[in-house]
Structure 1
Amino acid sequence: MTNKTEENTLPKMFISYRWSSPQHEQWVLDLATSFRSDGVDVILDKWHLKEGNDTFVFMERMVNDRSVTKVLLICDAGYVERADQRQGGVGTEAQIVSSEVYSKVDQTKFAAAVREIDEDGSPLLPRYLANRLYFDFSSEESFASNYEKVLRWCFDKPFHPVPPIGKPPKYLDETFQGNSDLLKGASALRAIQSRGGDPKKAASAVLSGIAEDAKNLCLSLADVSDSDQRIVDTIEQSIPLREQAITAINAIIENDEGSSSADAIHRFLEDLFCLWDYGRPDNGRYSVIDNDALKFFAHSTFVATIACCMRQRKFSFANSVLSTPFFKPNSNEYTGKLENYTSLRTYLQSLEEIRKRRLSLNRLSVHADIIKDTFNHSIVSFGNFMEADFTLYLRGMIKSDTGVSDWVPVSLVYASDSYGAFPTYVRATSKSFFSRLSPLLGDASAEQIRSTIRDGKGRIRFGGWADPDVWQLANAEALATRG
């Protein structure tokens, strides 16, 4: 039971309907009773119109009463006919309501509940409500969801509230021109896709200049001082470019057409790898942290690429990208050597040493903190990122002769207090799913994976209590144990 104070804060709704039949009247009465039990102060003629009172005055007062925040119009064939022809009480009420609907700026007060549809499947609505919000009560199937919608409308609690407005990104204060155009690349991709163009070709075109753009962006934001704050600011301002790259990569994976798709992504990653040791020539000297922003960009984009593959269950596609060695040129740019994907691992001294020391940060990994923060609003979730990071570690451990991976899954600092396995590895309990996943893990059998994890001690070393359990995260005990 509610007290008087609580009643004054509850939404008040007037229900308008036509007495079409005893069954219809009972349906309205039951609906109104349900709303009252759910905290809506429903005004209904059967409850509030006293014998001998003027029905027209009652209706007009309910429609115009400022304390009545919502008016629900129950529309069946009889109601619509009377409203359109302005006949009887419904017709009088229609004149009052239509005047309110057309003249008032705040039009959230009125909505229709449709009880019937016509032979074409269109809702039966009065002409003056044809373009208004309505709730579909024309079938039993639609009743439950639309009842909740009306309830949310009464309490002004929408399914999708407007998200809060954040601060403008810092990169908007910078002027930068690149080959792929920071602001237009992803928009161009969406535009081509929406017009029925080839998504893979569109994505490849957007992707083609991003590696060079990343280098130019990082250089354009650099200053003459080597500081961890400069690195952090540059990382932050390169995130839109990284998200553009991930969007394009995801589109290529979605529209996979074989080796050419994997080659397009591999070329992009190789272009990033070529910049790995790029020195900053503009200040006439070199520093160990000169390239940290670019390394963060390349590393996080690479892991996100594998995350996109895993999310779409394109495990063979990911294997194709990872199995092809990367060419890393020498300083003369004419010759070079081959490196595998583990060379894309990175240790960012600017974050893990300089920044920690300067700000006295008691953090296991500032690098991991920034990865988590920058994937909060990405098409790749941080959970997807961690799973891919873990998979790169596990693959490296399986394919290594020593049983110890060269890949450092820095994001797994956040998996240290987790219990259970990553989603892909839970699904790999199924033998058929495991057979699909196996190429990404070096075609190892489930028993080989278990043996490798045991030999590698089953731990990733971050610092004692923070070490995640590889055996648990890989669901090792249960891999490929079910038909």
Structure 2
Amino acid sequence: MATKSPFSEIPSQLEQIPEDMPIVFISYSWDSAEHKQWVSDLSKDLREKFRVYTLLDQYNRGGDDLITFMQKGLNRADRVLIIGTPKYKEKIEKQSGGAKFEDQVITIELYHNMGSSKFVPILRDGSFGDSFNELIETRTGYDMRNDTNYEKVLQELASDLWGCPMNAAPTLGPKPNFTPASQILQPFTASTPQDFSTIVKSYILEPSKQILLTELIEDETEEAFNKVLQYASYSHQTTAQTFNVYLKVHQEAIAKLMSAILPVVRYGSINQQRLFVDGMVKLCIKPFKNGEITSEGTQYVHLLASTFLYHAMGLAAVKYGRFKLIKLLFETKVPAPNVFSPSCSYPLECLAGYNHWNHDSLNIYLQASWIYPYSQMIMSAIRNCFGRIFIDNNDFQNGFYTWEHLASLLCHYYKYQRIADNWFPIGGFVNKRASLLRYEDDFYTNFFKQAGMDKDNWSPIKQGLFGGKYSEYVATYEEGEKFYDKNRY
């Protein structure tokens, strides 16, 4: 009995097709030897790099029937890649042959199932309109004309063939728990600063309540402003007793606003923080009496409420690294009429940040003998606002000096010329600067030491202070050092 030769039957690529990978038929036209090689390379990459079983006529053995391969291959494939070129479209429209036959089979199947995503256009040359028929050109495909993007597009294509497209829509989240409109429009009332802070925090964390937050802050600011105006008669001589009355009036007027500084700075957006900045602007407004053209001396007490809020927000911004907020503080202007003028606008820093009293006078008003009484007054007024945010009073003081020093540098950088071109506001931080030379490990020292290590990557610089340039910061800092050494008390 004759033995059957192992070479008499050679299995085609359509036999023993695996089940654990995508099966992909590649349809194209034989435009040129270079084009055939590119198609062959594409098939090879899909097989070797992404385990995609490609059906390609170039893999047929001698004796295989091309028409049978096309019919069975197109029917068996999970997806069909149609390599489009102008010559491909020309052949399927005007000639007979393999490309024409494949196009007829594809067209028939598409007419029976228009919603099918089986056929994927791959643009190799020309445009989609120049390279595909009308049924294919409108389908989502892949642009592989640029070989420099080949690997990227190849990966996107392979992920699609595996049923895991890289541009898949994100998974759906849980069903939202919508708040009824009747509740959204019903504001809470706060009888204490603690209640006010809690309500503000809850509004910050719920975007649907942004309108309520805005109205809450605006209403509280208006109430604080009216309380201050009740005691806005500054025509008499200031004494320790009258100054103490004004201090209490202003602190009580802004108690609720002050309680919300931390959550707004820590958790709020810049637009939510802007509500408080606008509140400070409001508190710097002063109606002028008939005939008045400016404010002098004792009338500066009208700024106390805004001043305390300003420094509390500045310190919180430094503590939590919100330097865009500090930039906003320094770029905000107070329109007229304000304490300085019935007709001119002034930077908020000029009204709420500056020390409007000389040291001796303020010590008399405060019945104290501090070297820098303005710094001590501010720290005393805002300390309770920070609770346990700082480890102890010493840590709080170092934090405040950090803000005070940074604010002084920014005043000079923004050219707020009040006394002279090279003027820097001074405060308790002037003596604290010595800790930088002693390498002390505290908030103040670490903050300014970090600038030299990070340079342009220092957070204040990255968030836009000093024009976003470390060199501008260094130049300002060095000028400040000369001024502080010359004008320290």
TM-score by length of 2: 0.48
Instruction: Point out the structure with max Rg over C-alpha.
Output: 2
TM-score by length of 1: 0.49
